[in-house]
Amino acid sequence: MNNNSIKYLEEFKIYLKSEKNFSIHTIRAYCADVYTFLIWADNLNVDEINSKKFSEYLYFIQKINYTKTTIARKIASIRAFYKFLFQEEIIETNPADALVAPKRPKSLPDFMSEEEVENILRNVKIETPAGFRNRVIFELLWVSGMRISELSNLNYENLNLEQNEIKVLGKGAKERIVLIPDKTKENLKNYMDNVSDLICKTKKAPDSPLFINYNGFRLQNQSIRKALKEVVEKIELPKKITPHIFRHSFATRLLENGADLRIVQELLGHASISNTQIYTHVSSARLKSVYDSTHPRA
């Protein structure tokens, strides 16, 4: 890989962070994909790579037996890189425009029943400060549909508990309002007023993190995942449960109870209604399952 390619990749990384507001994980994945491609292209300059070369690379990664989802992501990364090069007038034409990724297989998202969620919440040990904090976190994920990263990044200034509202910074730095019920609000206030100081006494300024660890630092996604895994293993749920499944369960439950698809889209922070529509298929599949198992003529 030549020096120009390295320089452009660094500029692309800055662009993704400062202008696109992508998360650290997304930036890392995009840059890794582009880096792999540029190594494969050997010493060619970015403006020397044509559509034929892209086709050869697509054939190359398909031979490695990547999943269609992985190949689609790699293609998306390269297309984004070349779009950036074209916008910055580093290249005169964009040969990556013709690069078409394989269609990703559509799969229905996993979700939990209300009973399964309540089982998890019941089995969190709230006798300890960290346990009470974790219980509030899992409950928030269930009632709000927040992503785990959105919840982890909450500060005190994001809360408007008088209106039962939380302002969330989602993907692409897009703000939205999520709602929480009174019971969850009371549990959250209890955590803030009484439990947080038992974990670590810190100032509660507007820009201070809402959920903290025993060192007073922001609680990270990995710690939340670990706490959830411990509870799930304890109660031996017969399915893999991740924080994101709370989000799927939130959306599925709303639609099953007749919520408007556009409202669910707004609450989830989806840029496109097509991302939300998959939950209608989940609801339909569940309804058919209930019908088949309960109707005498099914």
Positions marked active-site: 147, 171, 244, 247, 270, 279
Strands 159-160 and 175-179: unpaired
What residues contact 279, with CB distance under 8 A and at least 6 apart?
109, 248, 251, 252, 255, 264
172: left (phi over 0), alpha (psi -120 to 50) or beta: left
Dump the DSSP string for 99-119.
Answer: --PPPPPP-PPP---HHHHHH
Q: How far is 165 from 157, CA to CA, in rounded Å?
A: 11
Q: How large is the C-alpha radius of gyration of the chain?
A: 23
CA distance readout (Å), 147 to 3, 28, 115, 297: 38, 19, 21, 41
Contacts of 101 (CB under 8 A, 6+ apart): 71, 72, 74, 75, 76
* Pair 34, 9: CB distance under 8 Å: yes
Per the DSSP assignment, residues forming a β-bridge with 218 are 212
* Residue burial 25-45, b: 16+ Cβ < 10 Å; e: rest: ebbebbbebbbebbeebeeee
